[in-house]
Structure 1
């Protein structure tokens, strides 16, 4: 691809948009909550415990209810997940992460719509996804059950 004035201008505008996103309140809230989460000893301990339990849970899931520890590990998994979700640092981080993702999804939709109304932007958010049963461009050629037009 040859560098044209138009493509250079487009790259400059993309860099400017990226800077605006980085300076936005959702991005700042995300960075603050990430720092807080990484420095919260209790949250890190819960995450570590969750990871270990998740590995056991995935092993148990291969055999399902026929595994001898199925109920015990399933209950442990639910308990540690609940405890992790109720941790203030984790909850704050997840909220900030979702807000930043919503901003990025909105930008993606607006850029896509500026090009064409028919552009499918896979946001993963049903609020933004319209037009097909799978919601946004699945890229699977209809194997997910959506209709390819």
Structure 2
């Protein structure tokens, strides 16, 4: 059994025996429970619906082309003659994608899974110590064209 040095909250160190195999087994069981949750099932359903949607596929291709054009314009900054129109085109396609019901539902399901994972992480961290920081996704949004991970078929949406 491996031995781990542990620092208490007051900074004193001690030696604690920790069975990593048992801990990892519990972590995998927790992962399995999360994967069997209604939130993950909903997320996977809408992810597949988005992936199969022909309108999303078409708009995703347009989005990629618009992003490439905007990326070219960005190299020269806002003084590029097409900078603003290229930027507006990207935003317009993002709005169109956001109006598709499957995309709306996918984003909502993605947020629900993200919230669940954050809550689980926070609970684990707080069970160890109140001072452990848990990274969250406040200020980040996922899905198509929002700067998060885009699972709508258009690749990485930057």
Give the gaps of 5 or more residues in structure 1: 127-149
1:104 correspondence with 2:120: no
1:89 correspondence with 2:102: yes
Give the gaps of 5 or more residues in structure 2: 4-16, 140-158
Which of residues 63, 83, 93 is equivalent to 1:50? 63
Which of residues 91, 94, 108 is equivalent to 1:78? 91
Question: SS in structure 1 opposite 2:19?
Answer: helix
Give the helix-richer structure, 1 or 2.
1
Query: What RMSD over aligned residues (CA atoms) do the two structures have, in Å?
Result: 2.0
Question: SS in structure 2 opposite 1:12?
Answer: helix
* Normalised TM-score (structure 2): 0.73
8 Å Cα contact 2:2-2:19 kept in structure 1: no
Q: Which residue of structure 2 aligns with residue 29 of structure 1?
A: 42
1:14 correspondence with 2:21: no
Question: SS in structure 1 opposite 2:138?
Answer: coil
The aligned length equals 126
Structure 1 residue 59, shift from structure 2 partner = 1.9
Structure 1 residue 76, shift from structure 2 partner = 1.2
Q: Which residue of structure 1 aligns with residue 135 of structure 2?
A: 122
Structure 1 residue 52, shift from structure 2 partner = 1.5
Structure 1 residue 68, shift from structure 2 partner = 1.6
Give the strand-richer structure, 1 or 2.
2
* Normalised TM-score (structure 1): 0.77
8 Å Cα contact 2:39-2:109 kept in structure 1: yes
